[in-house]
Amino acid sequence: MVTVVGLTQGIQMVGENLPSLTADRLELLDALRPTMPVPARPLDLFSPKPGRLLTRTPHGDVLALLNWSDEPIALTVDAEEICGGRPATIYEVWTDRWLGVRDGRVLRVDVPPHGTSLLLLRPARRHPAFLGFNGHVSGGAILLEGEAWDAASRTLSIEFSANRAGWIGIRVPVEWVPTDGEVVQREGEHWTIPVARGANAVVLRFERAR
């Protein structure tokens, strides 16, 4: 329900004793703030239980896949439908996973019973670029205040206002290698770098892989 409330700008009411909440429950509350600038729209509007909610932001498209049933199901994402045929990076927010680059291909996503898969889709670049953040329901899209790639100095600059401390994901294509020690490779082209709560100015330098 956190995903649905967060993406649809639903009313956020907490009736529990906050000091007694565990750290993971508090992180879910943090994931709702700041609120989304616009409510999501269902892609299957006339379904009694919409299974796909989409929010477009200047820094990426946020797509929620919802499973209302008691059984696990496989839902599909048509990257061409969402991204207009442009290659897109796909980041799964809640599990902090990079699902690869899709270019007009359909992606199958397994969603557990009464579960949600929350995806951030961004245009795929040939250079290193912001991938996502698992600490907010937008996948970090509305927390990203600036991003620039300087080809001459091979430098990626990111301005990011984090709602909590954590790690932001960077997609580093195989032809690039980071020279900064703080960047940690997670899997394949998915790398991460730590950020503090509040404003962060991240500058990362790269070199061509040999």
- DSSP assignment of 98-134 equals EEEEESS-EEEEEE-TT-EEEEEEEE--SS-EEEEET
Radius of gyration of the chain (CA): 17
CATH number, position 110: 2.60.40.1180
Q: How far is CA 206 from CA 67, 79, 88, 144, in A?
A: 40, 29, 22, 21
Q: Which domain holds residue 8?
A: 2-208
Cα–Cα dist 96/116, whole Å: 13
Count structural domains, the chain: 1
Highest mean pLDDT among 4-13, 105-114, 145-154, 186-195: 145-154
What is the SS3 assignment for 25? helix
pLDDT for residue 203 is more than 90: yes
**Using one digit for the tens of pLDDT, what is the confidence trace for 54-76?**
999 999 999 999 999 999 999 88
pLDDT digits (tens, 9 = 90+) for 124-174: 999 999 999 999 999 999 999 999 999 999 999 999 999 999 999 999 999
| Better-scored residue on pLDDT, 116 or 108 | 116
pTM: 0.90
**pLDDT winner (highest mean) among 7-21, 90-104, 144-158:** 144-158
Q: Given this model, what pLDDT does residue 105 score?
A: 67
